[in-house]
Amino acid sequence: MSERYPVVQVRGIDGQITIRDGLILCFFMRRKHKEIAQEIWHSLQIYLRSIPTEALAWYVSPEGDTLLLNEQGWMHIREKILDRPWAQACHVELLQLESGAGDYNFEYDGYEIDPLCDYDEKAACAIAFSLPTEYLLEHGADKVRALALELSRDLPFSFGYASLAFVAPSGQWYSVRRELLPLLERYRGFDLYSLGRTSRVIGTGARGAYWLTFLGEPLLSQLGGLEVLRRELAFPEVSFESLEGERLLLTLGEWPSPMDIREHIVRPHFRALARLLEPYFPEETNGLTSLLDTRSMGRWLRRFCL
């Protein structure tokens, strides 16, 4: 490993860490929640077996309260994911810490996805798992990649990724966005995510080029399939792995990179993939500088395309 990983801790006005460095693994599925509920539950169990026991200690209630994830809490989460197929939406958030950004977090946004409903026109069910950077350093990149593959195995994703990230559950980075901006400018390899907002607009599109980029249908066919991607991404840093169900994993380098602009390292393989995916980027409305400035998020998503 030649990369040096920065330690990121951005604190809010209450003094608690709102953003920390880590990894995020996300998958987007243009399917109804009730069609994939079992697969979502199964992926959550894989994640739980891969992280320290009881690392997830809290959950967010429908009223927005953070409650202890005890036996009763797990019964509630199981019922919410598996036993309510009639529900129009399913939001689950499991946390390590009662407040602030912990090492381990789980988020899921599931929708009914009615094609006749304008609100669901561009929605996709979305699932996200976070890991601390220490997990990567202790277990290695191959272990993280193997975990990402295991988590994705039964998920009918159209797009997914694993990346270094500014970890902030539920998009809470917005409250400290001014402190975050210099870090975004410096570390181009860190993802900035807000699962709930992205899931409302991504549909079957893509979100960018990442260390691990997962492609499924219909996006994979729209890009021309494996042979076209091999030709367009003929870089020694890029590897291709075909997955069951007409899906593909692209690995852009042996280890994830923070892409510190001060190191002046050129990564043309990220630019090439980002340009292929750019027509399928969503119009996300997370303003980085103010509620009125939504263009800045679009510019950030296209940071590798320039």
pTM reported for the whole predicted model: 0.94
**Cβ(25)–Cβ(128) below 8 Å:** yes
Tens digit of each residue's pLDDT (9 = 90 or more) over 212-268: 999 999 999 999 999 999 999 999 999 999 999 999 999 999 999 999 999 888 899
Three-state SS at 246: coil
Three-state SS at 126: strand
Cβ neighbours for 100, distance < 8 A, ≥ 6 positions apart = 12, 16, 17, 18
Extract the tokens encoding 163: 């990346």
Cβ of 266: how many Cβ atoms within 10 Å?
7
Does the structure show a pLDDT above 60 at 6? yes
Tens digit of each residue's pLDDT (9 = 90 or more) over 65-99: 899 999 999 999 999 999 875 567 889 999 998 88
pLDDT band at residue 108 under the 50/70/90 scheme: very high
Does the structure show a pLDDT above 70 at 64? yes
CA distances (Å), origin 213, targets 84, 127, 157, 253? 31, 15, 11, 11
Cβ of 262: how many Cβ atoms within 10 Å?
7
Q: What is the DSSP letter of 103?
A: S
Tens digit of each residue's pLDDT (9 = 90 or more) over 114-133: 765 656 678 999 999 999 99
pLDDT of residue 115: 62
Query: Long-range contacts for 267-273 (Cβ within 8 Å, ≥24 apart)?
Result: 267/237, 268/235, 269/233, 269/235, 269/237, 269/238, 270/209, 270/304, 271/209, 271/304, 271/305, 272/232, 272/233, 272/235, 273/209, 273/213, 273/233, 273/238, 273/304
